Structure 1
Amino acid sequence: MYEGPVIDAFFHLGWTNNGPDAPTDRETWMNDPMRSRVMRTFGQAGMESRTSEESIGDTIGLMEDAGVELAVLQAGLFYSGSADDVEAAVAKHHHVVSTTDKFTHIGTILPPRQGPASYWDLLENPRLIAAHKDRFDIRGIHIMPSPWGTPPNDKWFYPLYAKCVELDLCVFSYVGMPGPLWPTYPNYPLHLDDVCIAFPELRVVAHHIGDPWVEMMTHLAAKHRNLYICTSAWSPRRYPSELVKFMAGRWHGQAGADKVIFGSDHPLLHMTKTVRDARNLDLPEAVVEKFMYSNIKALLAR
């Protein structure tokens, strides 16, 4: 069993009761007819959720007990909003990051203002992330093709990717069948093939594994030098066999152990149990060490 340090690459602060402006507000998720399905799926609905409410101090205590050295907070704007909304989401995480060395954070962007195929001012988001890197020290950006109805290979994203390469920011992109009642097609992993061909220097982390196209996702990660898979929102006990086989072996000469990154998606999946189960994967300790620590540490260090 791997007993070394862990970096959780896809993390949210614990459920709060602080209203819709809180980083993770359980009531807001429950009242969203699309996201509420996920709350039921992960046992977070009803009078008592599987993951209890917790303060930031409680969260840090859980991290220390589990051996989690660092957690990567992911900002996100699920639906249309303003530049002020994006800044507020990023600033909340920056406030947390500035008070402790237990977190770093990934920013986000404005969704297409008028839905798919809306191409007004494609330099707005590049300007925004440049300002946020300077003011809030973001380490990357988080995009959500499914709720935005826009696949990641849409030309709407391309000026953003160019700016990410210029600023050395990574991109976390949602892939696979969405848990909420959002469209699936934008999350089809093969869209990332176009992105990685057009921007070979862009570091892309495909989070949520990419089910039901897991084998395709592993082949894409092996094909493209800077494309990685993050296991967020998946219990290690339920990792698809195609993913575990890739982690233990190779495809076209690429070792899968170098291309997969651990993430819990706490509090949807409780960090403590997810970390414990990942440590106990039936894989060589050296593979688990890369998966839970070295791969994301190297990616963030660039």
Structure 2
Amino acid sequence: MGSASHAVIDLSLNIPVSLSNTEWYAPFLPLLRDAESRESFKMPAQYMFKGIPDLSKIDGFTDHTFALMDRFGIEIAMMGFNEGSPVTADVAARYRHRVLFELQIDPNRGVEEVRRIRRLHADHGIDALSIFPCGVVPQVPIDDKRMWPIYSLCCELDLAIMVNVGVPGPRLPMAPQRVELVDEVCWFFPELKFVMRHGAEPWEALAVKLMLKYPNLYYSTSAFAPKHYPKAIVDFANTRGSNQVMYAGYYPSGLSLERIFAELPGVPFRDEVRRKFLRGNAARLFRVAQ
């Protein structure tokens, strides 16, 4: 994938904020109980990843990241929006046309969180919301009553919500992310644009059944190296799910772009499906010019 093609929308890519990026994991560190996770890992799911990007030799994280995007033909990336962050302010000032901002939310804050989302959407044009159900404190299941005002607001503001599903990588209780919990949410909110993140394993077959059932339910490949994409997801994309499966990487949290783009050609997508997977489906969902 050459830099001139600019053919990719990456739905999970961030600019490093420090050499360790521990700032990203701080909200759920109190939930980690084992010593290895708390004291030894560079990132809380380190046992699952090989070749986590080495950030020690990078000079200027923001410019380096966008140069890396150019190298691999990534036209637009979904990145976290952090209010008050100098990095977010810099990206908004210089690269807003190449970014979809996602706002990580915590439904435990109740109506104050709803107000915060409204304000940041109005002031900054937030493009999506995101949540790690197993990683908020206390944990919040996908179908929990604390999520209902958030889902309603997403429908009102026409915002997609990116939700981690399946067994979490960090050593946290998995119950809040069981895939069957997606069912009632999609039933009650047929307008909701719900994007499953981080694999849905070991329930990827159920994720496929739910996507067949609900046309506004999507799957992104975040946190999975291409050679490990679940077969059920690839088969679904090549058949009835060609409009519902979207590319997402995991740089710099766990995967390098070098590895991802070296492995992508080996994923057996049909040619027209590959184009939708890499850009077309995300462009339609997030209203990016085709």
TMscore range, shorter length: 0.7 to 0.9
Q: Which amino acid aligns with 1:264?
A: G
CA contact (8 A) 1:281 1:288 kept: no
The alignment status of 1:297 with 2:280, answered yes or no, reads no
After superposition, the Cα gap between the structure-2 partners of 1:112 and 1:92, relative to the gap in structure 1 and judged at 3 Å, is: farther
- 1:195, 1:111 → 2: CA distance? 15
Match of 2:176 in 1: 186
Q: Aligned pair 1:43/2:46, yes or no?
A: no
How many residue pairs are counted as aligned between the two chains? 271
Q: Please point out which of 102, 106, 111 is paired with 1:106.
A: 102
Task: Quote how far apart the aligned CAs of 1:4 are.
Answer: 6.5
SS of the aligned residue for 2:83 comes to helix
How much has 1:111 moved relative to structure 2? 4.6
Distance 1:189 1:31, change over 3 A: closer
Aligned equivalents of 1:42, 1:15: Cα separation in 2:
20
Deviation at 1:37, TM superposition (A): 4.2
Gaps of 5+ in 2: none
Paired residue for 1:252? none
- Which of 198, 211, 214 is matched with 2:201 structurally? 211
SS in 2 for 1:301: coil
The residue number in structure 2 matching 1:87 is 83
Secondary structure of 2:121's aligned partner? helix
Matched, 1:97 2:92: yes
Report the Cα distance in structure 2 between the residues aligned to 1:31 and 1:244, rounded to whole angstroms.
32
Match of 1:240 among 218, 225, 230: 230
Partner of 1:231: 221
What is the RMSD of the two structures over their aligned residues, measured on CA atoms?
A: 2.8
Q: Aligned to 2:261, which of 256, 275, 287?
A: 275
- Report the counterpart of residue 8 of structure 2 in structure 1: 6
Compute the displacement of 1:18 (Å).
Answer: 8.2
Taking every aligned residue pair, what percent have the same amino acid on both sides?
27
Change (3 A) 1:147 1:19: closer
**2:131 corresponds to which residue?**
143
Shift of 1:64: 0.7
Aligned pair in 2 of structure 1 residues 24, 274: CA closer, same or farther (>3 Å)?
Answer: farther
Deviation of 1:102 (Å): 2.5
SS in 1 for 2:185: helix
CA distance in 1, matches of 2:181, 2:112: 23
CA shift for structure 1 position 57:
1.1
Query: Contact 1:109–1:143 (CA<8 Å) still a contact in 2?
Result: yes
Return 5+ residue gaps in structure 1 as ranges.
76-85, 114-121, 250-254
Change in 2 beyond 3 A, CA 1:125/1:96: same
> Aligned residue for 1:68?
74
One-letter amino acid matched to 1:8 = D
TM-score normalised by structure 1 residue count: 0.80
Give runs of ≥4 in structure 1 deviating > 6 Å: 1-4, 28-31
Deviation at 1:95, TM superposition (A): 3.6
